[in-house]
Structure 1
Amino acid sequence: MKKNILITGASRGIGAATALLAAKEGYAVAVNYHSNETAAKAIVSRIEEAGGAAVAIQADISQPVEVARLFSETDRLLGRLDALVNNAGILEKQMRLVDMDAGRLKRIFGANVIGQFLCAQEAVKRMSTRLGGNGGCIVNVSSLAARTGAPNEYLDYAASKGALDTFTLGLSKEVANEGIRVNAVRPAFIYTDIHAAGGEPNRIERLKDSIPMQRGGSAEEVAEAILWLVSEKSSYVTGTFIELSGGK
């Protein structure tokens, strides 16, 4: 029976690669996007052209009302939710803490922490066997920055991903006996356009000599790890992190 997966921030980068791979592996995919409708619909078209099933659903995950609508639309268009990939997140321009304002911090934590809490909450309501569900999987997309702290560049982003790591551990234990597995990936130095948002599109080229594997990674490599975590191949895995950072 076909399974359904919701991927937030799936119009580009890691989210888009995960959506394409999930469809290839037989999932019907809800492609969430914040503002780039054209890109999201292009991903849906690619999936449909390959014989898969997908829908594009707009929602700002930092807003509770929009998260509720996102999940309701997924229910209506696809049916029972089997997996959630909490991928959506933002990065702002490289900056030291002394130069950050409260508005920036609210944006970062709203999109990178509160949004993930809200989406996981809706997923648990649907998946939990205690609440009448059939179980499921949640994968949070964290970052190696949660371990490094990203000083002088993205201290706020790193802290938000650290919060996501703690959330992953806690939630995995909270719902382990309700049929839900919760894991995370920690990518770093991945070739996506998020680096442009930070003001340095070629950041990986500057840093790749410091990476043991001497190269950046691809969104597709991260997607492979995510799909393993939502598959039955990882059926005894929860509260676990997979790092995709070239050995850094």
Structure 2
Amino acid sequence: MTAAAVEDDPRDPRGILLVTGGSRGIGAAVCRLAALEGYDLAVGYAGRREAAEAVAAAVRAAGRRAVTLPADVADPAAVAGLFDAAEAALGPLTALVNSAGITGLSRRFLESDPEEMRRVVEVNTTGTLYCCREAARRMARSRGGRGGTIVNLSSAAATLGSPGEFVWYAASKGGVDSLTIGLSKELGPEGIRVNAVSPGLIETEIHASAGDAGRLQRYAAQVPLGRSGTAEEVAEPIVWLLSDAASYVSGAILRVGGGR
């Protein structure tokens, strides 16, 4: 595992934040906004190094430290290495955003691919489990940690079901919701707040990656606010949940979907 150079900054950060899936979409927007709020960033990514480096450059331009770290969140050994490298570069983590996620190709369930379904669950659900475990083991007061915050990326699909598109993705995000609720109760006494944000129809490349580039236009009319949202509009509540302003919020699953 390699890391980009970390620039020194004499100012104390608001926190040390690791964002998985930080090279694109909502994860990248979280990194950029969190840097403006004073966080130092570990930008986790799977295969898009140049995109991750561009996000890190934006973090440094905001006056904060940044490191880019590749890892497959579905691999528990890689996840442990990711957290070790982030702390070696930046110091003890105080916050985690689990943004890494995939949908697989959009198709009816009758034509679904078992291997693709397995991979979606491994990344979205199992990967979030692995990352939460590593974060909790480091943040837990009973293990000498100072507490912290975790925000998981769920999806409106967890309750809408995504019929005819990717119900396996919806199921994987339903697992994230259950994990968030359970961990918030178990880790609260350890000083760790756990919440989730559940985005709706958001303008990211995930739709094209699913083979359905026209999805945003097709569903926008179903949104009560009459439009799709932006990654930045999802990043705002995520960074708020990380902050002291949300100090009494734990176990929440916040829908950010324009009313849909």
Amino acid at match of 2:172: S
Superposition pairs for residues 1-248 of structure 1, below 5 Å? 1-2=12-13, 3-248=15-260
Q: Deviation string for 1:61-89 (max 9, x for gaps)?
A: 00111101100001100111000001100
Amino acid at match of 1:111: V
Alpha-carbon distance in structure 2 between the residues aligned to 1:47 and 1:74: 15
User: 8 Å contact 2:96–2:149 — kept in the other structure?
Assistant: yes
Structure 1 position 50, deviation (Å): 2.6
CA distance in 2, matches of 1:205, 1:211: 11
The alpha carbon displacement at 1:100 in A equals 1.4
The Cα shift of 1:24 comes to: 0.6
Task: Give structure 2 stretches of 5+ with no counterpart.
Answer: 1-11
Name the TM-score, length of structure 1 as normaliser.
0.98
**Farther off after superposition, 196-205 or 228-237:** 196-205
Secondary structure of 1:134's counterpart equals coil
Deviations for 1:141-164, whole angstroms, at most 9, x for unmatched residues?
Answer: 000000011111010000000010
Percentage of matched positions with identical amino acids = 47
1:33-68 deviation line (CA, Å, top 9, x unaligned): 000000000111111123221110000100111101
Find the aligned partners of 2:151 and 2:249 in 1 and give their Cα distance. 11
Alpha-carbon distance in 1 for matches of 2:122, 2:56: 27
TM-score relative to the length of structure 2 = 0.94
Contact 2:125 2:175 in 1 (8 A): yes
Q: 1:93: how far off?
A: 1.1
For residue 131 of structure 1, report the CA deviation from its aligned partner: 1.1
Alpha-carbon shift at residue 105 of structure 1 (Å): 1.5
Q: Report Cα offsets for 1:97-153 as digits up to 9, x if no partner.
A: 121132112101110011000000000011011111000000000000000111110
Letter in 2 for 1:188: G
Which consecutive residues of structure 1, in runs of 5 or more, have no partner in the other structure? none
Aligned counterparts of 1:31 and 1:208: Cα–Cα separation in 2:
31
For residue 175 of structure 1, give the secondary structure of its aligned residue in structure 2: helix
1:142, 1:210 → 2: CA distance? 20
Runs of 4+ aligned residues of structure 1 deviating over 2 Å after TM superposition are: none
CA distance in 2, matches of 1:25, 1:54: 14
Whether the 8 Å CA contact 2:104–2:117 is kept in 1: the answer is: no
Aligned residues: 248
Q: Which amino acid aligns with 1:203?
A: R
- Which SS does the other structure have where 2:203 is aligned? coil
> For the residues of structure 1 that align with 2:81 and 2:163, how far apart are their CA atoms?
37
| Secondary structure at the counterpart of residue 64 of structure 2 | coil
Quote the offset at 1:17 in angstroms.
0.2
Cα RMSD, aligned residues only: 0.8
Q: Distance in 2 between matches of 1:17 and 1:110?
A: 24
- Provide the rounded CA distance (Å) in 2 between the counterparts of 1:89 and 1:24: 24
